[in-house]
Structure 1
Amino acid sequence: MQKPSLLFLLVLCPFFLLAQYKTVSLDFESTYIGDNNPLPAETNILFTGSIPSYIDRVELNIKPPKGKSNILHSAVWQRPLDNKEKTYSLPVNYKFRSSASYDIEVLYFQTLSNAQRTALVQTLNKRLQLFLETQLTQESKTIEWENKPKRLLQEMNDLLQADLQNYRTGIAAPAQELSNLVALQMEKMADMRMRDSVGQVRMAEERVLLRQLLQDELDRMLPAPLYKIADARLLEDCPTESKKGALAVNAGYGGVYFSGDLGEDLDYDTAPYVGLSFPLGNSAFAPRFFSNTYIGFGLFLQDFENADEQKLTGPITGLPIYASLDYKLFQFVYLNLGATLLEETTAGDRQELFVRPFIGLSAKVNLSVQFER
Structure 2
Amino acid sequence: MKKYILILLAALPFMAVAQVKTVPFDVIRNQLNSGMPLPAEESFNMKGILPAQVRLVQLDIHRGRQRKEPDFSYHWKAPFDFKVEEYEIYVAEPLRSNKRYTFTFSYYKPASTDDLRELRDALYQNLSSYLHANYQVSRSGFSSLNPRRTVMNNLDQIVVSATNRYEHFIAMDFPGFSDIVRQKIEQLEKVRMRDARFNVFGGRKNIDSVRVAYAQQQIEELINMVKAETDQYLSRDMLALADRREITEFETERLPSYLPVNVGFGGAYFSGNFENLDYGSAPYVGVSIPLGNRTFKRYLGNASISTGIMLLNMQNASGETVSGPLIERPIYAALGYKFLNFFRFQAGATITSVQSLGGTERINVYPFVGLSFEFDLNIRLNNQR
TM-score normalised according to structure 1 size: 0.88
Hey, what does 2:294 align to over in structure 1?
A: 283
Hey, what does 2:350 align to over in structure 1?
A: 340
Moved more, 327-336 or 312-321: 327-336
Hey, what does 1:330 align to over in structure 2?
A: 340
Hey, what does 2:197 align to over in structure 1?
A: none
What secondary structure does 2:340 align onto?
Answer: coil
Q: Say if 2:300 is the partner of 1:301.
A: no
CA RMSD of aligned residues (A): 2.9
Q: Say if 2:87 is the partner of 1:75.
A: no
Moved more, 112-121 or 309-318: 112-121
* 2-structure distance, mates of 1:147, 1:19: 58
Deviations 1:329-365 (A, max 9, x none): 4342332222111011124322221111122221111
TM-score normalised according to structure 2 size: 0.85
Picking from 358, 369, 372, the partner of 2:379 is 369
* 1-structure distance, mates of 2:83, 2:2: 69
Equivalent pair of 1:101/1:239 in contact (CA under 8 Å) = yes
Q: Say if 2:277 is the partner of 1:272.
A: no
Deviation at 1:240, TM superposition (A): 0.7
Deviations 1:163-217 (A, max 9, x none): 2222222344242533343232122123223569987776555434323211221
Deviations 1:59-90 (A, max 9, x none): 11111224443421111112221122121111
Equivalent pair of 2:127/2:223 in contact (CA under 8 Å) = no
Between the two proteins, the alignment pairs up a number of residues equal to 366
* 1-structure distance, mates of 2:241, 2:323: 73
Moved more, 335-344 or 173-182: 173-182
* 1-structure distance, mates of 2:336, 2:324: 21
What code does the residue aligned with 2:148 have? Answer: P
* 2-structure distance, mates of 1:366, 1:208: 72
Equivalent pair of 2:123/2:158 in contact (CA under 8 Å) = no
What secondary structure does 2:328 align onto?
Answer: coil
* 2-structure distance, mates of 1:109, 1:292: 42
**1:320–1:140 distance in 2 versus 1, CA, 3 Å:** closer
* 2-structure distance, mates of 1:178, 1:268: 72
* 1-structure distance, mates of 2:239, 2:232: 15
Hey, what does 1:86 align to over in structure 2?
A: 85
* 2-structure distance, mates of 1:140, 1:261: 91
* 1-structure distance, mates of 2:231, 2:330: 77
Moved more, 189-198 or 98-107: 189-198
Hey, what does 2:199 align to over in structure 1?
A: none
Equivalent pair of 2:5/2:265 in contact (CA under 8 Å) = no
Q: Percent identity?
A: 30
Equivalent pair of 1:192/1:203 in contact (CA under 8 Å) = no
Picking from 343, 367, 382, the partner of 1:357 is 367
Moved more, 72-81 or 208-217: 208-217
Hey, what does 1:121 align to over in structure 2?
A: 120
